[in-house]
């Protein structure tokens, strides 16, 4: 599979690094020589130094042989023109575009339905606001995501030192809770990923990933000693596009919201665009200002400035001053491993949201969603089982899966089944697969070769 990526920023670079590990033929197009040099020195990909909206550059990149074009520069206009030009040269190439400007929001459906040069449109800012809201309303979690068109969520929780599950073998979980037994899929311990078995014991500070139906989630979290605390007051630091989107959502949910924004002109704009949220002009890292706003009474502080160092600083400061919860926006991927070490657990990234959305459209077979877990050592994939698949109609114990990949859940008639070796998948069932990063190419090969049964 040849994939052409227009734009070698954080998103383009990171997607390229993922696809290279999965043995894809990747070409990156960028008009910044320094960015191209960075790509050449770090990744085994082809590079073209030129504009992604130029037909000459796209032909040089091999657009006629490419299955997918990803337009992910920082310019919406460049991305649009790149897709238009690519469609003129190679109509059969699938085009995936990132558009971030809110001016395009109401036209997304029109683009998808009426623009022949765009197959998939992605706005990571919309997705990251959804993630923030899920984090706000799911007690004690580090990570939370929702699979496509279902009520099934995957959740990551940090196991506290005094939690009753510390030292418990997975096979003994039923003794802790007779009603809700968590379907634990993975454990991250000391930055290493473990796919646990029944004899494995949970340890304090483990980051535990499990799958749950939405209506059972609060009860399941209680097994981990995480209890619901409703969010009534929120403070947003940074009134950019994401901050405005989030404030509008929280207004709709009747959550008392304040925004601190440094630029006076932007404060005036925000005040005109919001109905109920209180807009404050000032520096969100100013301790006196946070004191004046009674930070200790705030249920959640969300730091969304364009400076991630400021976001980290304000989150740490807010926690020290008594805020109950903080959510921190991070863009640089190399910061992620450091966050839990310094005490910041709930982290969101528009770039990671974009990557997750893009991956599901690159995967072979009937893949409905594809989501990387924290640390990106593995991936959840939700797929549909087709009637022609040889996974259908026989026990899972008779189906050969790559090492490092498991069927974590079966969704049948909107009900989730915890699979065993005797479980049988029916046509039309949705399957949740959990796979280590190294196993993903083999899983994808199964999806592609085995009559594309997912």
Q: Which portions of the chain are predicted below pLDDT 70?
A: 115-117, 148-150, 177-180, 364-365, 374-376, 390, 445-454
Co-location of 215 and 313 in the same domain = no
3-state helix, strand, coil in the chain (%, to 5): 40, 25, 35
Residue 129 lies in a domain: no
Residue 36 lies in a domain: yes
CATH of the domain at 80: 3.40.50.720
Give the 3-state secondary structure of residue 382.
strand
pLDDT for position 449: 42
Number of domains in the chain: 4
pLDDT for position 58: 96
Co-location of 246 and 311 in the same domain = yes
Co-location of 218 and 241 in the same domain = no
Q: What is the DSSP letter of 237?
A: E
Joined together, the tokens standing for residue 417 give 């089944």
Co-location of 195 and 237 in the same domain = no
pTM of this structure = 0.82
Q: Which of 115, 77, 81, 83 lies closest to 99, judged by CA?
A: 77
pLDDT for position 166: 93
pLDDT for position 178: 63
| Burial of 383 per CB tally in 10 Å (0-12, 13-18, 19+) | buried
pLDDT for position 445: 67
Residue 128 lies in a domain: no
Joined together, the tokens standing for residue 205 give 């500070």
Residue 357 lies in a domain: no
Co-location of 257 and 279 in the same domain = yes
| Burial of 77 per CB tally in 10 Å (0-12, 13-18, 19+) | exposed
Co-location of 170 and 103 in the same domain = no
Co-location of 434 and 325 in the same domain = no
Q: Which of 168, 193, 223 is where one domain is finished? A: 223
pLDDT for position 235: 97
Co-location of 204 and 269 in the same domain = no
Joined together, the tokens standing for residue 33 give 């020589």
Co-location of 25 and 96 in the same domain = yes
3-state SS string over 268-317?
HHHHHHCCCCEEEECCCCCHHHHHHCCHHHCCEEEECCCCHHHHHHHHHH
Residue 208 lies in a domain: yes
Distances (CA, A) of 442 to 279, 400, 410: 51, 11, 20
User: Please, which residues bridge with residue 260 across strands?
Assistant: 237, 280
What domain range is 38 assigned to? 2-122
| Burial of 59 per CB tally in 10 Å (0-12, 13-18, 19+) | middle
98 in Cβ contact with 72 (< 8 Å):
yes
pLDDT for position 261: 97
pLDDT for position 418: 81
pLDDT for position 454: 38
Co-location of 178 and 215 in the same domain = yes
Residue 133 lies in a domain: no
pLDDT for position 179: 65
392 in Cβ contact with 399 (< 8 Å):
no
Joined together, the tokens standing for residue 300 give 């959640």
In the chain, DSSP finds a helix count (H) and a strand count (E) of 15, 22
pLDDT for position 83: 92
Co-location of 114 and 28 in the same domain = yes
Residue 127 lies in a domain: no
pLDDT for position 451: 39
CATH of the domain at 423: 3.30.70.1450
From first CA to last CA, the distance across the chain in angstroms is 19
Residue 355 lies in a domain: no
Co-location of 341 and 274 in the same domain = yes
pLDDT tens sequence across 283-295: 999 999 999 999 9
Q: Which of 175, 194, 223 is where one domain is finished? A: 223
Q: Give the side-chain half-sphere CA count within 13 A for 436.
A: 13
- Runs of H (alpha helix) within 47-185: 55-61, 76-89, 108-114, 124-136, 173-176
């Amino acid at each position: 599979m040849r994939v052409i990526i227009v734009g070698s920023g954080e998103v383009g670079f990171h997607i390229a690094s993922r696809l290279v590990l999965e043995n894809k033929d990747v070409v990156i197009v960028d008009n910044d020589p320094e960015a191209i040099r960075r790509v050449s020195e770090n990744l085994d990909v082809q590079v073209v130094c030129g504009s992604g909206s130029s037909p000459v550059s796209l032909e040089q990149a091999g657009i006629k042989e490419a299955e997918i074009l990803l337009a992910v520069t920082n310019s919406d206009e460049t991305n649009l023109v790149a897709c238009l030009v690519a469609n003129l040269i190679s109509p059969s190439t699938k085009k995936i575009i990132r558009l971030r400007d809110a001016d395009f929001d109401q036209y997304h459906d029109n683009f998808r339905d009426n623009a022949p040069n765009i197959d998939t449109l992605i706005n990571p800012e919309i997705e990251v606001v959804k993630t923030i809201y899920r984090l706000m309303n799911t007690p004690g979690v580090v990570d939370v995501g929702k699979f496509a068109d279902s009520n099934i969520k995957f959740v990551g929780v940090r196991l506290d030192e005094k939690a009753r599950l510390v030292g418990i073998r997975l096979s003994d979980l039923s003794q802790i809770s007779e009603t809700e037994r968590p379907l634990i899929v993975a454990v991250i311990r000391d930055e290493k990923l473990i796919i646990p078995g029944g004899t494995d014991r949970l340890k304090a500070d483990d980051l535990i990933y499990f799958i749950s139906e939405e209506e059972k989630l609060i009860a399941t979290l209680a097994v981990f000693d995480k209890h619901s605390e409703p969010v009534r007051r929120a403070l947003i630091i940074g009134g950019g596009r994401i901050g405005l989107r989030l404030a509008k959502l929280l207004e709709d949910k009747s959550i008392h919201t304040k925004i601190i924004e440094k630029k006076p002109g932007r404060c005036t704009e925000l005040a005109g665009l919001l109905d109920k949220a209180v807009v404050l002009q000032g520096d969100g890292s100013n301790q006196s200002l946070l004191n004046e706003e009674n930070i200790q009474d705030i249920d959640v502080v969300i730091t969304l400035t364009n400076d991630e160092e400021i976001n980290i600083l304000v989150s740490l400061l807010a926690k020290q001053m008594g805020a109950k919860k903080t959510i921190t926006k991070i863009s640089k991927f190399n910061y992620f491993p450091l966050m839990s070490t310094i005490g910041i657990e709930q982290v969101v990234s528009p770039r990671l949201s974009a990557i997750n959305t893009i991956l599901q459209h690159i995967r072979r077979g009937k893949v409905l969603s594809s989501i990387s877990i924290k640390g990106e050592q593995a991936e959840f994939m939700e797929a549909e089982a087709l009637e022609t698949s040889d996974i259908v109609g026989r026990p899972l114990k008779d189906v050969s899966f790559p090492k490092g990949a498991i069927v974590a859940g079966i969704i049948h008639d909107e009900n989730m089944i915890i699979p065993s070796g005797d479980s049988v998948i029916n046509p039309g069932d949705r399957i949740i697969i959990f796979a280590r990063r190294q196993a993903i190419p083999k899983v994808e090969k199964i999806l592609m070769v085995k009559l594309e049964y997912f």
